A and B are shown apart, each in its own frame.
Chain A
């Protein structure tokens, strides 16, 4: 009975959220939203008896009294507060980049000077005015791709805005595309807001791009949560190359859910770097589908948690075509009562002969009260493959700490250096200098906070 009541409340609540969305939308889009909301509500809410949710409690998403972030409020708040945040100065002034900045889920500004003709970097609410057929076409293609998943269906139903990056055949961008997503709870608001974004990154044959997706929570002192649900659909056509950097530094109250799906055609390459620092509960679900022969994916990840944070990285790589390659190196550092969950699923389909798949997950547990769950899963349906996987959980190496101390470094410094050293190779894997610099600074800031805890 209790469950039914919760489910009924949840359904009513979601329907309420959908009503907050502008009623002037085209009929097809309205239908699209309603259809996905129905789909979402037909699915049972995740609970920890389901294997994939075993370590993750999503009930905050159901119990919170959410309202959707509004475009006008977002604009005002952006203008009022953005320039006070010095930490962002470097990010927002980064030279020689294409840029799109979202505030609470709504696009605020783009900088796309000198973009090659026929390439598109634009948000889809603008595109809906200029080229509604394109948006409709993309949406229609999206919905048949995969089986229904509650939070993704919810994202489809409530999506507010998002970026389309489209590179025509052979276009290779020299500058990176920086997508910044800023989040802040309204000055007077007492209830949490939800923003839903959907981004599309489509690279045609031989196209090449570097995309940096950054999510940042402002006003870390505010105790009110905000919710961010973001879905990203990525298509790499034959021979296309995408380097995808991701950095999330949400506030310690934020709920962040990122679902990403990448399809790689023949000889295309994905290089992905995910650095996750923030969120009360931050979950990243990656689906990487190596669809064409010779496609390659290289995944690097680093999560750092403290306090009562939980960060999940749920990675699924499917090798469908022959001679596909994946290499995954993910690390996590967990301090205090925080929790880190890693799932590295690799599925090698029957036809994927000549495949190479390697996965390594290394974890540093800093306190006995912290928790790390790691689950590498290999499912191999072809004999002609090279695969390896491994997972390690350890604490700070006492021999190394003693060695550093014997050279005059204090216990705290030795600890700090060793924790930083653990993270170092994941940061150094970031090859773009400005992206590296901002990511390193934010990561080291967090690691310093952790080291200071150890000092007290």
Chain B
């Protein structure tokens, strides 16, 4: 489904790359987790996948569903099935949450040649999802993320994800800012949404999320590259030992190459 090859990315206008030849493939129905210390490039990867214009791709390619993702605008990627739950969702006073959700939903449905939802169907779906996440309906009447608590912002991202039904959901540190109850509720929703057609990329600092959502693969992103891939046990090891041992191992690897 997603094929990232030799991806080298810098912040727009800068020459030092953040991602340095990253390789990653994700197949349908799989859950991949990416962990890594601060500044290793996790959020850069998420943003580049979603089409943020603040980065320049210096080298490499990203294929998604057989298409060259890098030439597509963010909205085209969304229609194709990419969804990024932002680490820091933007607050926009003056845009009503429900209005926005309905616009987004129907734009994407139109783009996918599906029938737009009318007000009744839309509301029915939203109500179901709100209940799943444990949110009150008044949530919809507020301005988009405006004055939302950290947890509410993250929950709103998940609500959007449920309505937009992506093929690849990238959750960028969705667990941070959520209390334990909310984390459990959202994990449950995500587990319900795991289908053979849908893939997941969970970017996280904490093992805890992965004990709720069992990943198929855990990758460690370190200094712009994936340096280790394993299963859930890798996350447990990180939890116990931190990233220190990676430093030694990475140095060793580099020396080995020399």
Interface residues of A, Cβ cutoff 8 Å to B: 397-400, 402-411, 413, 417-418, 420-425
- Interface check B10, CB cutoff 8 A: no
- Interface check B39, CB cutoff 8 A: no
In the bound complex, CA of A409 to CA of B108 (Å) = 8
Output the least CB separation between A440 and chain B (Å): 12
Q: Are A423 and B73 in contact (CB under 8 A)?
A: no
Q: Are A408 and B86 in contact (CB under 8 A)?
A: no
Q: Which residues of the partner chain B approach A411 to less than 8 Å between Cβ atoms? A: 73, 75
Point out the residue from B50, B53, B89, B94 that lies within 8 Å of A421, measured CB to CB. Answer: B94
Q: Which residues of the partner chain A approach B74 to less than 8 Å between Cβ atoms? A: 402, 405-406
In the bound complex, CA of A25 to CA of B250 (Å) = 98
In the bound complex, CA of A421 to CA of B160 (Å) = 20
Q: Are B104 and A400 in contact (CB under 8 A)?
A: no
Known: A406-B84, A408-B108, A413-B107. A423 touches B94 (CB 8 A): yes
Point out the residue from A397, A398, A408, A423 that lies within 8 Å of B78, measured CB to CB. Answer: A408
- Interface check B79, CB cutoff 8 A: yes
Q: Are B92 and A418 in contact (CB under 8 A)?
A: yes
Known A411-B75, A424-B93; 19 more pairs at CB < 8 Å = A398-B54, A400-B90, A403-B86, A403-B92, A404-B100, A405-B51, A406-B83, A406-B86, A407-B75, A407-B107, A409-B75, A410-B73, A410-B107, A413-B103, A413-B107, A417-B103, A421-B92, A421-B143, A423-B94
- Interface check B213, CB cutoff 8 A: no
Q: Which of B73, B86, B107 neighbours the largest number of chain A CB atoms within 10 Å of its CB?
A: B107
From DSSP, what is the main secondary structure of chain A's interface residues? helix
Point out the residue from B53, B78, B93, B94 that lies within 8 Å of A407, measured CB to CB. Answer: B78
- Interface check B180, CB cutoff 8 A: no
In the bound complex, CA of A354 to CA of B75 (Å) = 53
In the bound complex, CA of A295 to CA of B75 (Å) = 51
In the bound complex, CA of A83 to CA of B73 (Å) = 47
A-B contact pairs, 14 of them (CB 8 A): A397-B90, A403-B86, A403-B89, A404-B92, A406-B75, A407-B104, A407-B160, A408-B111, A417-B95, A417-B100, A420-B94, A421-B92, A421-B143, A424-B94
Output the least CB separation between B219 and chain A (Å): 23
Q: Are A403 and B90 in contact (CB under 8 A)?
A: yes
Known: A407-B160, A409-B107, A413-B103. A421 touches B93 (CB 8 A): yes
Q: Are A410 and B90 in contact (CB under 8 A)?
A: no
Q: Which residues of the partner chain A approach B48 to less than 8 Å between Cβ atoms? A: none
In the bound complex, CA of A405 to CA of B50 (Å) = 9
Output the least CB separation between A421 and chain B (Å): 3
Output the least CB separation between A447 and chain B (Å): 12
Q: Are B94 and A406 in contact (CB under 8 A)?
A: no
Point out the residue from A404, A407, A420 that lies within 8 Å of B164, measured CB to CB. Answer: A407
Output the least CB separation between B114 and chain A (Å): 12
Known: A413-B107, A417-B95. A405 touches B78 (CB 8 A): yes
- Interface check B52, CB cutoff 8 A: yes
Q: Are B103 and A409 in contact (CB under 8 A)?
A: yes
In the bound complex, CA of A407 to CA of B143 (Å) = 16
Q: Which residues of the partner chain B approach A420 to less than 8 Å between Cβ atoms? A: 94-95
Q: Which residues of the partner chain B approach A422 to less than 8 Å between Cβ atoms? A: 94
Q: Which residues of the partner chain A approach B90 to less than 8 Å between Cβ atoms? A: 397, 399-400, 403
Output the least CB separation between A133 and chain B (Å): 51
Point out the residue from A402, A404, A425 that lies within 8 Å of B52, measured CB to CB. Answer: A402
Q: Mark B148-173, 1 if CB is under 8 A from A, else 0.
A: 00000000000010001000000000
Output the least CB separation between B156 and chain A (Å): 11
Of all chain B residues, the one with the shortest Cβ separation from A403 is B90
Known: A402-B53, A402-B74. A408 touches B104 (CB 8 A): yes
Of all chain A residues, the one with the shortest Cβ separation from B88 is A399
Q: Mark B72-116, 1 if CB is under 8 A from A, else 0.
A: 011101110001101001101111000010011101100100000
Task: List residues 15-59 of chain B with CB under 8 A from any CB of chain A.
Answer: 50-54
Of all chain B residues, the one with the shortest Cβ separation from A414 is B75
Of all chain B residues, the one with the shortest Cβ separation from A417 is B95
Of all chain B residues, the one with the shortest Cβ separation from A397 is B90
Q: Which of B75, B79, B95, B160 neighbours the largest number of chain A CB atoms within 10 Å of its CB?
A: B75
Output the least CB separation between B2 and chain A (Å): 16
In the bound complex, CA of A409 to CA of B100 (Å) = 9
Q: Which residues of the partner chain A approach B86 to less than 8 Å between Cβ atoms? A: 403, 406
Of all chain B residues, the one with the shortest Cβ separation from A399 is B90
Output the least CB separation between A395 and chain B (Å): 15
